[in-house]
Amino acid sequence: METLARKLIARAAGQSGVSAGDVVICKVDLAMIHDSGGPRRVKPMLERLGRRVWDRDRVVVVTDHYVPADTEETRAIQALTRQWVRDEEIANFYDQQGICHVVLPERGHLSPGMFCVGGDSHSPTGGAFGAYMFGVGATEMAGVLATGEIWLRVPETILIQWNNSLGACVTAKDMMLAVCGEIGMGGGRYQAIQYAGTAIRNLSMQERMTMSNMAAELGAQAGLIAPDEITADYVRAAGGTLAEDWADYAIEAADKPEDHLTFDAAELAPQIAAPHSPANAADAAEFENTKFDVAYIGACTGAKYVDLAAAASVLKGRRIASGITLKVAPASKQDQDRAADEGIMSILEEAGAQFLANSCGICAGYGDDRLAEDEVCLSSTARNFKGRMGAPGSQVYLASPYTVAASAVTGTMRDPREIMEG
């Protein structure tokens, strides 16, 4: 049976079909790089090879990791990034407009059928659009920029099917934490994961992006979702181009019957993952009354427009508990502007939120705004590895924006349905 992953890879490899395990060379439709793994790393390698980028129209550069650039070192990194973009005459450059995985689709760069690489581990986010997209390191990216090609071992597809519909205050983030808890961080085996089922079809594009984004936490190479009218509408609205045959990529299948896993969305409760792994997930109710200091709504995983709206639905007319700091770093400028137009930013502000730049923020842990030793954070981000967001003794719990917001109001960790339905 044909899988979406194999159809996408066969197209990029210029073959009529491929089999799992084949090693193929694929032509890259789009390469995305950011300020950390991008120009500062690939420039010397391209110079050594005596090459320029293979196609200036197929490269997208985003600054998001060292934003705000508030030190001499980070300002130098941004200056180098801008100079390289000028020198290479890169057509698509988004400077401090938000996090790459969110900016890329909102500016119309992704559509079904594409084969893309990104210089960041959360690049599987692009799979939400029915595109094959995966993350690579800087050296591999330099190779792509020099040649327009990359090798790939054709993956098997693990199909994760979510039946029925999600209840109130339960989100894509909860679905992903539950899957992490069930199959573990290595459960994706560097194969392609594909999400299917009624609950996936009902998700907005940004919620689907959260699913694909966290395929990285499962150790998968890609996190695919078959395109449908919701995909097509998003791409059109973003000013993107839909291939004539885009609907041909609406394929949902696993390679092996044992790799077809089924979950029930209707049964799913809000989840929290304990330090230091997303796989430490359990029902939020099990963490009831756990104390924390910082509530964080941030990152490509957890601070898109839908995430800000979710947090605001809890925080409307409420204030965060004393002793809790709520920090919000909207994932993109466009999402923040939309949230502001709809009054969402005001609700968050009135609830007591502090706002950070439209960037990777505390999730990347690259800047000075980090967690202190022994500080405990409840975060809408994707990973809670030891020391990632701050001092080695800091602790990060992961949850959805609803759960983070509800817990910020009550002052200890909470199933958000308790305060929304109570």
Partner 1 sequence: MARLWRFDDTIDTDVLAPGKYMKSPLAELAMHCLEAVRPKFASNVRPGDVMLGAPNMGVGSSREQAAEVLKHLGISAVIAPSFAGIFYRNAINLGLPVFTIDAGLHAHPGLTDGAEITFDFDSASVTLPASGEVLSLEPLPDFLRDMILDGGLIPHLEKRFQTTAAAEGA
- Binding interface with partner 1 (CB under 8 A): 23, 36-37, 41, 45, 48-51, 66, 71, 73-74, 77, 119-121, 123, 135-140, 142-143, 146-147, 151, 185-186, 189-190, 219, 221, 277, 364-366, 370, 383, 385-388, 392
SS3 assignment, position 355: strand
Taking the least distance from each CB to partner 1, the nearer of 203 and 389 is 389
- Provide CB contacts within 8 A for 79, sequence distance 6+: none
Where would I find the H helices in 32-88?
A: 39-49, 72-87
**Shortest gap between Cβ of 122 and partner 1 (angstroms)?**
8
**Shortest gap between Cβ of 421 and partner 1 (angstroms)?**
36
**Shortest gap between Cβ of 383 and partner 1 (angstroms)?**
7
Taking the least distance from each CB to partner 1, the nearer of 68 and 411 is 68
The DSSP bridge partners found for residue 193 are: 158, 223
**Shortest gap between Cβ of 392 and partner 1 (angstroms)?**
4
Give dist(CA 50, CA 54) in Å, integer. Answer: 12
The pair phi, psi for residue 16, each rounded to 5°, is -75, -25
**Shortest gap between Cβ of 99 and partner 1 (angstroms)?**
14
- Provide CB contacts within 8 A for 145, sequence distance 6+: 31, 42, 46, 51, 53, 54, 59
Torsion-angle region of residue 127: left (phi > 0), alpha (psi -120 to 50) or beta?
alpha
Taking the least distance from each CB to partner 1, the nearer of 27 and 318 is 27
395-399 and 271-273 as β-strands: parallel, antiparallel, unpaired?
antiparallel
Taking the least distance from each CB to partner 1, the nearer of 162 and 366 is 366
**Shortest gap between Cβ of 351 and partner 1 (angstroms)?**
29
Taking the least distance from each CB to partner 1, the nearer of 123 and 407 is 123
Taking the least distance from each CB to partner 1, the nearer of 15 and 71 is 71
SS3 assignment, position 311: helix
Give dist(CA 349, CA 197) in Å, integer. Answer: 37
